Amino acid sequence: MHIFVCMKLALWSWWMIVSCICNVGMKKLLRRLATVTMALVLAGTPLHSSSVFAGEMYVTGGGVGEVSCSSFVNDMATARQVGFDTNRGFAEMAPWWQHTLGFITGYNMAEPKIRDLAASARGHSMESMRVTLLTMADIHCKTNLTSSFNSALKSIRDQLLPTATWN
């Protein structure tokens, strides 16, 4: 869990405990102190991760987006070795696939002119789309090992835009 979320939860818990235990006079003072402390912490912490795509109108946060491409390439190699359709192969790729689906879904919803960014990759099944998109990410990541997985998603987006279905 993100350290700032933990800090926020700890401060909120502290405030709740103080408000239940303390006497009325001290309670008022400690509540004010807790409120001021919480306000300072909340004001000084970001609400989301920074985007790696400078100048873009969306942000990414959490998930495996900030994990390095080299980790993705290693997981992809393991999944290929044990088989994508096996439980282990699917488990290796599940976080990457879920993050990719989230990115595609979010992009489809955020861009008013796009109906389906991954229309050309969809094929006849979700399985063919999974293999297509993860292979595209693998190709990008193999040549950009120190980049984040989000850079692979941006590359996929750039490749899919010409074939996307538009509203």
User: How many domains in the chain?
Assistant: 2
For residue 112, the model assigns a pLDDT of: 86
Residues 87 and 137 grouped into a single domain: yes
Q: Is residue 137 a contact partner of residue 65, using CB atoms and an 8 Å limit?
A: no
Residues 78 and 158 grouped into a single domain: yes
| 22 in a structural domain | yes
Residues 94 and 161 grouped into a single domain: yes
Residues 88 and 136 grouped into a single domain: yes
For residue 82, the model assigns a pLDDT of: 95
Residues 14 and 77 grouped into a single domain: no
Residues 77 and 142 grouped into a single domain: yes
pLDDT tens over the chain, length 167 residues: 455 555 555 555 555 555 555 555 666 666 766 675 665 555 554 444 444 444 555 555 667 888 999 999 999 999 999 998 899 998 999 999 999 999 999 899 888 888 899 999 888 788 889 889 999 999 999 999 999 999 999 999 999 999 999 87
Residues 90 and 154 grouped into a single domain: yes
Model pTM score: 0.64
For residue 127, the model assigns a pLDDT of: 84
| 54 in a structural domain | no
Residues 36 and 83 grouped into a single domain: no
Phi-psi domain of 54 (left: phi exceeds 0; alpha: psi -120 through 50; beta: other)? beta
| 92 in a structural domain | yes
Residues 87 and 132 grouped into a single domain: yes
Residue among 35, 40, 62, 68 nearest 50 (CA): 62
Residues 134 and 98 grouped into a single domain: yes
* Distance (Å, whole) CA 14 – CA 18: 6
Backbone angles phi, psi at 23, to 5 degrees: -75, 175
Residue 166's DSSP bridge partners are: 114
User: Which pair of structure tokens corresponds to residue 107?
Assistant: 């992009």
Backbone angles phi, psi at 41, to 5 degrees: -65, -45
| 55 in a structural domain | no
For residue 124, the model assigns a pLDDT of: 76
DSSP assignment letter at 49: P
| 152 in a structural domain | yes
Q: Provide the residue range defining the domain that includes 32.
A: 3-44
pLDDT tens column, 26-73: 666 667 666 756 655 555 544 444 444 445 555 556 678 889 999 999
Residue type, 1: M
* Distance (Å, whole) CA 166 – CA 133: 19
For residue 63, the model assigns a pLDDT of: 77
| 119 in a structural domain | yes
* Distance (Å, whole) CA 9 – CA 37: 13
| 8 in a structural domain | yes
Neighbours of 69 (CB within 10 A): 23
| 57 in a structural domain | no
Residue 116's DSSP bridge partners are: 165
